[in-house]
A and B are shown apart, each in its own frame.
Chain A
């Protein structure tokens, strides 16, 4: 039970407050900030790299459930997803569907 409370505390401090603060600032600064400014451009780069690293981490060293697939299968699936995204004229849904199907096929037939 204390473990559960610890998790919730971690989520509120590390996740919720740190996220809400930017939304509140957005309301307070709504009349004064340039949404396309240089500072926010840098922030977008940092956020993009964090999410890219997060995805790479899950592909390279997954947890239990995803670990039933091979590394090759996961890399093939991600590449197929990005390729299909562009083949289908930048359709995110098509890319995601293709990557999941590719993961299934690669895991089923290859390893």
Chain B
């Protein structure tokens, strides 16, 4: 009984979730995608490429890494490895979101659709607001939110792309700067233990060094090398502290 299975979710909550896209989190996200659109113009890869990443990748760091490597003509394999390493962080977010929305005995395919929308913003909203929504309504509510946010961000990507050309050069530069600045400060905002700060420092130092000698593999080398060094030093420090 397929129909009976899906009926376990209460889809009437879909528009309600879509409406909750209007809020502080949605506003911050809109500003980020405005900057992302400007960055797409700066990369010179075309608006269609920017929008394609917004729809199919739906995680800004992965989107920027993908387009950065497309612009520089990096090989697909190196790009795929670098992007996938930035995307592993989505796994625990999905695990946490799933624990809040899953309905026992219900059809599973809506989970595979919803998971595509899970990134930092949806995860935060799921942590903060979903408890107030009754369980059968949660998955439709988040799906509605995801669809509304994605539609808005497609528009913001295009607006940022065009603004970058229309605005005076210095203002356009500020718009382009919005995304790297947001990413960099978010690293500090998400850092909880010494390992995280070490990883930031290692990336900042090793990335540019590798860029000089291996420009195609700089992000990958900085990530795997710097991240592992940070993890190992952080672990040793933690074990000593015990």
Contact = CB atoms under 8 A, between A and B. Distances in A.
B85 interface: yes
Nearest to B197: A48
B46 to A, nearest CB: 7
A50 B228 contact: no
A99 B185 contact: yes
Task: Say what secondary structure dominates the interface of chain A.
Answer: helix
Contacts of A69: 170, 173, 177
Given A4-B46, A54-B183, A30 B94 contact: yes
B56 A11 contact: yes
B116 to A, nearest CB: 6
Interface stretch (B14-22, B130-138, B216-224): B216-224
The bracket for how many chain B residues form the interface is: 35 or more
Given A13-B80, A92-B182, A45 B94 contact: no
A57 B206 CA distance: 10
Most buried by A among B76, B169, B225: B169
A80 to B, nearest CB: 10
Contacts of B102: 30
A47 B85 contact: yes
Interface string A26-40: 110110010110001
B43 to A, nearest CB: 6
A50 B87 contact: no
Nearest to A16: B56
Nearest to B45: A7
B115 interface: yes
B66 A92 contact: no
B188 A85 contact: yes
A78 B76 CA distance: 31
Interface of B: 28, 31, 38, 41-46, 48-49, 52-53, 56-59, 61-71, 76, 79-96, 98-99, 102, 108, 111-112, 115-116, 118, 164, 169-174, 176-178, 180-189, 191, 195-196, 198-204, 206-208, 210-211, 218-220, 222-228, 230-231, 234
